[in-house]
Amino acid sequence: MAGWLLASTDANQDEDENRRCIFENALIEINHLFRMAEELPFVGFDPYAFEYDPLWIPESSQLAHTAIADEGHEHDRAIAFLVQCHRHQGRYTVPSENSFKYRDEFFTSCAETAGFTVMKRWEHHRKPMRLFSLASEAERLL
């Protein structure tokens, strides 16, 4: 199958800047906890007990969106039942999603492995945002 694909990426590798940008929308990142409290039959589940705490993992260019709460709240059973969470030193860490900040070389390598060729790359003049025009194998032959 032949075709074109337009893909955008964020290549920002600066941990402090990534965390700062995400903290501006922290309530959006933990909105699912408030939805759980409202819509699921849990008694005593308190979404306000959680703090948003993004974790930068440079090896994978990953910003992991997590919420953390202390143990001992009435929500212990509810949160353990509903989501896969990690308990460490008396605290819950609840993963919600991940943001990957791909370096250009890595994204290009993935695209090529999937059978695409980068035909053109545009770069934002002030931010590490990229736009890639990709062509599939058959389109390159035309």
pLDDT at 96 over 80: no
Q: Cα(37)–Cα(40) distance, rounded to whole angstroms?
A: 6
Residue 97 DSSP SS3: strand
Percent of the residues in the chain that have a pLDDT greater than 70, as a whole number: 76
Compute the mean pLDDT over every residue in the chain, rounded to the nearest whole number. 79
**Nearest Cα to 140, choosing from 109, 120, 119?**
119
pLDDT computed for residue 93 by the predictor: 63
pLDDT at site 87: 60
Residue-by-residue DSSP string for 49-68 = G-EE--EEEGGGTEEEEEEE
96 versus 3: the higher-pLDDT residue is 3
Question: What pLDDT score was predicted for residue 36?
Answer: 79
Position with higher pLDDT, 67 vs 74: 67
In tens, the pLDDT along 9-24 reads 999 898 888 888 777 7
